[in-house]
Structure 1
């Protein structure tokens, strides 16, 4: 049985053409003899003049030298319409599925009744559909070579058969209905064909030829019924392509023993047949055109290069992917497909990593809505000697080329090694200004590595830096996703690299979650470095993060637990000695917390603070929950800092030392329960004083030259 085991999904049927139902006038013919191979197909043309376009419906006729239909009028508009109408007639299918014939004669009578006053094409479809729906391919007989009775009676009785049985019962039913039909024996590129080492010497397949209105056509009910899987089981799957397929397409995978049944102007021989590429039905349906290699199944490496190149013309809405296999095992990084929009050309690259006979399979789908690719082309690549500098390709998606992305580094490889105490890998990507990227790192169990990636745009180099840090030894997938900035949709996969981690540095590096604004503001994490998780001191009350920033950047922060932000539990202040922002976080319980950091440029008056980074914080033991004092806007804009007291709740009647940095103020004073204290301990920028806590609140104020009023900076509550 010639059933391809690489098909992913059924071939899409042609778009139906709605036309009025046509009556069939049955032409009486002399019953043919059993020696079907001795009959020459009739080529008498219909007296009806076909449409001009119908004479040139298949641009693939020139794919192999001189492959042209013997009867260019066979697939005229009327035949094409009748064929599609029969396929789309679901009442036929329902009726046939309800039949329970106990004999071949009962089946013949049922076909006669259903096809009465219908076209001869309808009658053939009824026969074709009954066989494909009811006859199961006998995989056990095929693989054991112990064939059961393949006569029409035997196949009908067991409802099983191999190709000979399918051909016999089709011819029997046609003969009983007085319809011209022949059984054709020959060779097919079906199951097991790729494993052959030599040219076949004995026929291995059978199908049928039928005459309709003085034209001859082919019928392949075996392949129309389904295919064999890699597990050697029959998978029933109606494929209407094999109902009256075009001879110029069938010749790529069916070679009749008697050349007359090729139905070609110039029949081809076995040598040319085995050298032709293996083209599947969807190849023709999608209007693909194999440009190079032309007319050949064998592909060679490009001279002086480490890869082979296949060129395929096709519509822009057709997407291709490919696989390069050796001994039925896919070669990682062995293939790459890109689309040249100017030439409407798919360029398919294949890079072997060892010598041997490789199998190339190219898959296709039409449109973005379809998510299943189906194989369309099968080729071979024989490598007898490896090139001096082998290469490989990262996995790319259509999005990569649509967005005009380019891998700057690493070149010519799909594999990045992180070995011997290295910490991370870096991929450099160049893209247009309106494109933005994201990253993701997963292990072999498809688990996301938290803190395993960092992607940002380097404005100095005008490229994207995509960093990936594996968290243990092993293999990882580093995936880069992309979209246009103006696109409100989600990011989609663009390119993927493999990372091989071995003897990495411990503890492993990790990255906090960062937003594009982090890099736009020129921020730099000083502590903790190379960690996605903030450090929690043993038995502490708060954690610290330090970030360097340009002088016109202002930071703020917050702490979340279970998605809820805790008020007055985070404090952002500026350390003038180190020229860093000190960000403090006081959790109220143990567990996993998220530390959010926000930023903005002070020069942009109308700009609100937005997310720039996020760290995780695992709190294992908490000495005592605390709150920070309430901070007013002026505290952040003038970059103040509190040394003490950091606790935001003061004890009534206590004497508390205050030590703060308040730059640029002309006066600083405190209010205790709305009464001015009259502080004398401020000398720009340092405030040092002791106060006695009242019963309500303590507020620190400052006056600046440009303002005659005091501005609130810090507020403490009292218990």
Structure 2
């Protein structure tokens, strides 16, 4: 006999954050480093359903610290026609081993030469030297948030950075250049404009960040030790090693780093500043999960009371969205509805009132427990929309497509027409929890339909799949 058990509704834990300041970028207060529950409940098979897994909304914005004072930047020679290397050759092989090896190097002095002498015997080639230098710096040098925020720039020479153990981006790039040169590598400092989640910048609209280029076997690779070292969370630096920013493919780094000299884009077709400025904020997750923009390819969107964004993803990728208000605070989950059906993703957003918002789109694969930000859009809403039904984890996992009704609230004592596509389901029902009654919908292939007069609250739509008598909650209406 089939069964359905009432389930506790997801709760949320919201960590309050500072409001953004004038120099805080998109929303300095948005930290969200894995601390927004967004319904972090797990429903075992005996309980019926799983909710959505945790959402890391600040790895969401990947809170990338920045800051530059050109006066402290070590200027390097211009390289004629630098040739981009094949970053695919620097994928996982050896990277993790070298990162772990770098963690074992203990050095508390202030000599670049002495540090290089510790690293050099551990490296077998230039690639390993470049990676070990990146990994040691990102694991041992902290980002100096007060210096970046107050613009009270201290001595950023490599020796001083080593002695203090903290710096801003100019100091990071200075140290990497000095250490890599001591290891026998050709390296440059690249200055330009960077955009990301937690942006700590100066007043110059053209130059607010510095990173590096390193030559390995005659070809050039891009890296950013500042962004590889950690994140800024509520005005405090949190060490969070990120290997993504070593030998980052040029076509990926350009979405967040725009060099002053176009040759350091390392692209056959270079971007102009206008193109860079109008691109949505894309993180490494966007590329890793094979996401493609279909409907909205520019950052700024003007919408009415609701918005629909279309994407494509790989088959093993799950997507959800989070709407943020103008103060960087997350809105109720039911202001967004994400549907991934056979690689075609539709993200719907509804706005509680006219105004400015940010729409964050997050992704994960089936092996992960947490969603991370892939895309961010700035949205100006000119109307008011209706909230969507609450969805559960099974809705996303089974790639369910809700056709109607899309509104959160169903009219009482009136007929509502239900149409929902649930791949692989044997039965889809409406659940009257008060009377413990299951109302089946009609099945045509994997589409289930039915017109029902609703006279009870909290209508749950649940599905039964082959091999089990248990019904799993998909979504819930008020």
State the TM-score, normalized to the length of structure 1: 0.51
Query: How big is the alpha-carbon RMSD for the aligned residues of Structure 1 and Structure 2?
Result: 3.5
Q: Does 1:245 align with 2:248?
A: yes
The structure with more radius of gyration: 1
Q: Does 1:40 align with 2:73?
A: no
Asked whether the equivalents of residues 411 and 454 of structure 2 are also in contact (C-alpha less than 8 Å), the reply is no
Q: Does 1:413 align with 2:407?
A: yes
Give matches, 1:146-545, under 5 Å: 146-193=152-199, 201-229=205-233, 231-294=234-297, 296-301=298-303, 306-327=305-326, 328-332=328-332, 333-341=334-342, 344-367=343-366, 369-383=367-381, 385-386=382-383, 390-397=385-392, 399-400=394-395, 402=398, 406=402, 411-415=405-409, 429-430=418-419, 434-437=426-429, 454-457=436-439, 462=450, 468-469=456-457, 478=458, 480=460, 482-488=462-468, 491-497=471-477, 499=478
Aligned to 2:107: 100
> Structure 1 312/156 Cα, relative in aligned 2: closer, same or farther at 3 Å?
same
SS class of match (2:118)? helix
Higher helix share: 2
Q: CA deviation digits over 1:508-538, x for unaligned, max 9?
A: xxxxxxxxxxxxxxxxxxxxxxxxxxxxxxx
SS class of match (2:190)? strand
- Rounded Cα–Cα distance in structure 1 between residues aligned with 2:203 and 2:476: 40
State the TM-score, normalized to the length of structure 2: 0.74
- Rounded Cα–Cα distance in structure 1 between residues aligned with 2:171 and 2:415: 60
- Offset at residue 143 of structure 1 (A): 2.3
- Offset at residue 326 of structure 1 (A): 1.6
Q: CA deviation digits over 1:288-323, x for unaligned, max 9?
A: 1111212x112233xxx7422211111122110001
- Rounded Cα–Cα distance in structure 2 between residues aligned with 1:179 and 1:412: 58
SS class of match (2:294)? strand
Unaligned runs of 5+ in 1: 12-32, 45-70, 419-423, 441-450, 470-477, 500-719
Asked whether the equivalents of residues 439 and 466 of structure 1 are also in contact (C-alpha less than 8 Å), the reply is no
- Offset at residue 158 of structure 1 (A): 1.0
Aligned to 2:117: 109
> Structure 1 82/251 Cα, relative in aligned 2: closer, same or farther at 3 Å?
closer
- Rounded Cα–Cα distance in structure 2 between residues aligned with 1:202 and 1:391: 40
Give matches, 1:25-174, under 5 Å: 34-36=74-76, 39-43=78-82, 71=84, 74-75=85-86, 80-89=88-97, 93-94=100-101, 96-104=103-111, 105-115=113-123, 118-174=124-180
> Structure 1 374/309 Cα, relative in aligned 2: closer, same or farther at 3 Å?
same
- Offset at residue 357 of structure 1 (A): 1.5
- Rounded Cα–Cα distance in structure 2 between residues aligned with 1:133 and 1:233: 16
- Rounded Cα–Cα distance in structure 2 between residues aligned with 1:41 and 1:249: 23
- Offset at residue 182 of structure 1 (A): 0.7
Aligned to 1:563: none
- Rounded Cα–Cα distance in structure 1 between residues aligned with 2:127 and 2:388: 49
SS class of match (1:480)? strand
Asked whether the equivalents of residues 170 and 209 of structure 2 are also in contact (C-alpha less than 8 Å), the reply is yes
Higher strand share: 1
Unaligned runs of 5+ in 2: 1-23, 35-55, 60-72, 443-448
- Rounded Cα–Cα distance in structure 1 between residues aligned with 2:339 and 2:345: 6
